Structure 1
């Protein structure tokens, strides 16, 4: 997984449309159209992986954008990682069997850590545990509930349970286009021997480079790409130069 550093476009979905939230707050999103059009646009631009999130599923606790996700899976031929509303091992395994390459487990992994081991037993390396941090602690249920968990300590626990990677999202800077914070990412990277995918706050190509230098194996980028702050090719090329 991510043998080379990769810039991964985000396709976050709400009510069947691509949406980018600000600071993880519901109702703050800006809409960017049809998910299939967005997904194919990024693949045409050179994406090797797509990051799909069912935002409604994350908030409601069950998948809400299944039709849009199925349409994206049918339309593209690159790796796809999917999160949002996946709460049981049966749901996760069903999605993997459907064609999703990696499932992202956040709330489910916090509430039932054994789900990571259960899914990994049949689909090794396919679980990405999402550790979304707000105010220095892991938050769940669409970033609305604190857990008291330290992200680096939690990452170690899930790596031991068989997680293939950690997705670390800095919610405090998510969607704001004001830059990244590398120290929280570095702490998680140093805690585990599995890939850490960074997300949140990317506004410039220099942010992408900084996250690579902090040890991230990949970076998920949403708003900056949709707003045209830089192109996917420019970001990947700059990262390759680090």
Structure 2
């Protein structure tokens, strides 16, 4: 799935615009313009994968920004992983059949774990289970509802069901540009043998290096890139050193 460590730009879409939320809270968003323009910008800068999230879909429970997502997929020639509002196996399989490389399941996987096996049986290694954690607890429905689940235990369970990768988001530091917390990420990495992708809190190239050292296969970066804390090219060069 990931042949080498990747820095993956995030293109989070809300009301048809690229946004970044602070701590996953609606009303905290910063807006960064047209999603397709942003996606093409990151591909031109060297991205080999894009991380797309339909934020309205994550909050509302069904996909809300399909047109914007489809525009991105049709305009870029790199791998695309998509999450937000994918609630059924049928939806996921349709997206995969239409060219999405990986589907990201959070709420759907937690509420119905067998969905992971159903999709994986038809499209092996295409399901990335999103485990988003607040205060050490997996949260769902756009990070608004607690589940009582421990992220590391949940990661191992989804690996057994056929997940191709785990996306771990540390919601407590998401969008704050205050740095990562390596400890929670390392716990996830130690709990599974499949690739782990980290998200949340990246503020510097040192954070990217620290996540690579923690053993993740890739890191998703949003606010830091949009706010110019560092460039995608510099981040990629740094982890190749």
Question: How is 1:9-158 mapped onto 2 (pairs within 5 angstroms)?
Answer: 9-158=9-158
Q: Aligned partners of 2:6 and 2:144: how far apart in 1? A: 29
Counterpart check, 1:188 vs 2:188: yes
Q: Aligned partners of 2:22 and 2:95: how far apart in 1? A: 28
Q: Aligned partners of 1:62 and 1:208: how far apart in 2? A: 32
5+ long unaligned stretches in structure 1: none
**Which residue in the other structure is 1:199 paired with?**
199
**Which residue in the other structure is 1:240 paired with?**
240
Question: What RMSD, in angstroms, separates the aligned Cα atoms of the two structures?
Answer: 0.4
**Which residue in the other structure is 1:171 paired with?**
171
How far the C-alpha of 1:91 sits from its partner, in A, is: 0.3
Question: What do residues 156-213 of structure 1 show as CA deviations (whole Å, max 9, x unaligned)?
Answer: 0000000000000000000000000000000000000000000000000000000000
Question: Which stretches of structure 1, 4 residues or more, deviate above 4 A after TM superposition?
Answer: none
How far the C-alpha of 1:239 sits from its partner, in A, is: 1.2
How far the C-alpha of 1:99 sits from its partner, in A, is: 0.6
Q: Aligned partners of 1:144 and 1:165: how far apart in 2? A: 23
> The residue matched to 1:87 in structure 2 has which SS?
coil
> The residue matched to 2:179 in structure 1 has which SS?
coil
How far the C-alpha of 1:3 sits from its partner, in A, is: 1.5
Question: What do residues 41-82 of structure 1 show as CA deviations (whole Å, max 9, x unaligned)?
Answer: 000000000000000000000000000000001100000000
TM-score under structure 2 length normalisation: 1.00
Q: Aligned partners of 2:22 and 2:195: how far apart in 1? A: 26
TM-score under structure 1 length normalisation: 0.99
The alignment of Structure 1 onto Structure 2 pairs a total of residues equal to: 241
5+ long unaligned stretches in structure 2: none
Q: Aligned partners of 1:39 and 1:116: how far apart in 2? A: 28
Q: Aligned partners of 2:115 and 2:240: how far apart in 1? A: 35
> The residue matched to 1:36 in structure 2 has which SS?
helix
**Which residue in the other structure is 2:3 paired with?**
3
Q: Aligned partners of 1:207 and 1:186: how far apart in 2? A: 14
